[in-house]
A and B are shown apart, each in its own frame.
Chain A
Amino acid sequence: AQSVTQLGSHVSVSEGALVLLRCNYSSSVPPYLFWYVQYPNQGLQLLLKYTSAATLVKGINGFEAEFKKSETSFHLTKPSAHMSDAAEYFCAVRLYNQGGKLIFGQGTELSVKP
């Protein structure tokens, strides 16, 4: 069963435009949710995480994500894209009572046009 789905393998925005990367999870119990960014030829860097405290989570580099239980979503947004935001973004979940492993979505490649 797919635990996390990222809609859109590739998103392209203009510099200064809103960034919206979608992530939906499938779990009867809200999991812990994470967004990671991967720049070319680099590792995975944590952007932000949801751990059942505030539903609106602020991360690094101006990104934020809102946990919506009714929609089983955890979409990532940034008000104004910068060229340096071009990278691959991964949503990941850690399911409740399923050990410590992360389950990753398929990833969304973000391109930023000048």
Chain B
Amino acid sequence: EPEVTQTPSHQVTQMGQEVILRCVPISNHLYFYWYRQILGQKVEFLVSFYNNEISEKSEIFDDQFSVERPDGSNFTLKIRSTKLEDSAMYFCASTEGQGGNYGYTFGSGTRLTVV
């Protein structure tokens, strides 16, 4: 079964450093998403991406965050200057379409720890 692949699985970074989280969505999917889950809290939407541009972003997704699809397969989330409160599990997801019959496939996540 096709999978969404995320790397790395764990990342530890110092406060103020830049991090890039990588995702390889399913090859025929067109819509891509990033979500995060702070430990013990619910999963929160960050951003959606379609046709090489952001289609929606949440208030969490401020100027410190950016997304990119640098080639035909990768989808990245960059945090420019990490803060302690950015520590969370970050999930990438993709879907083939946005109609009701389309499901969302999530990756296994990257656990980001900012120290």
Residues of A within 8 A of B (CB): 32, 34, 36, 42-46, 49, 51-52, 90, 92, 99-107
CB of B101 within 8 A of CB of A46, answer: no
Bound CA span A3–B33, Å: 19
Nearest residue in B to A46 (C-beta to C-beta)? B103
Contact of A102 among B45, B50, B55, B100 (CB under 8 A): B45
Contact of A32 among B44, B100, B106 (CB under 8 A): B100
A-B contact count (CB 8 A): 61
CB of A42 within 8 A of CB of B56, answer: no
Contacts A43-B109, A51-B100, A102-B104 aside, 8 further interface pairs with beta carbons under 8 A come to A42-B108, A43-B6, A43-B91, A44-B93, A46-B105, A52-B100, A92-B43, A104-B44
Residues of B within 8 A of A (CB): 6, 31, 33, 35, 41-45, 48, 50, 55-56, 58, 91, 93, 95, 98, 100-101, 103-109
Pick 19 A–B contacts, CB within 8 A, sort by A.
A32-B100, A34-B103, A34-B104, A42-B109, A43-B6, A43-B109, A46-B103, A46-B105, A51-B100, A52-B100, A90-B42, A99-B56, A100-B33, A100-B48, A100-B50, A100-B98, A101-B56, A102-B35, A106-B42
